[in-house]
Chain A
Amino acid sequence: MNERQDWALEVEDLTVAYADKPVLWDIDLQVPEGVKMAIIGPNGAGKSTLVKAAMGLVKPVAGEVRIFGRSRERAEGQIAYVPQRATLSWDFPTDVIDVVTMGTYGRVGWFRRCGSAEKEEAMAALEQVGMTDFARRPIAALSGGQQQRVLLARALVQDAPIYILDEPFQGVDAPTERAIIEVLDELADIGKTIIVVHHDLQTITEYFNAVLLLNVRAIDSGLVEEVFTEENLRLTFGGRVGVLAASGAGGL
Chain B
Amino acid sequence: MKLKTTLAMVPVLIVMAACGGGAPAPTDGGAVRVVATTNIVGDLVRTIGGPNVEVEALMGPGIDPHLYKASAGDVRRMSSAEAIFYSGVHLEGKMSEVLERMGERGMRTVAVAECVPEENLIESTGFSGLHDPHVWFDVALWSQTVGCVVETMADLDPDHADAYRERAAAYVDELVALDGWVRERVEDLAPEQRVLVTAHDAFGYFGRAYGFEVRGLLGVSTASEAGTSDVQNLAGFIVEHEIPAIFVETSVPPRYVQALQEAVRARGFGVEIGGSLYSDALGNPGTPAGTYAGTVRANVETIVTALAEPADAD
Q: Determine whether A and B are in direct contact in the complex, meaning some CB atoms lie less than 8 angstroms apart.
A: no
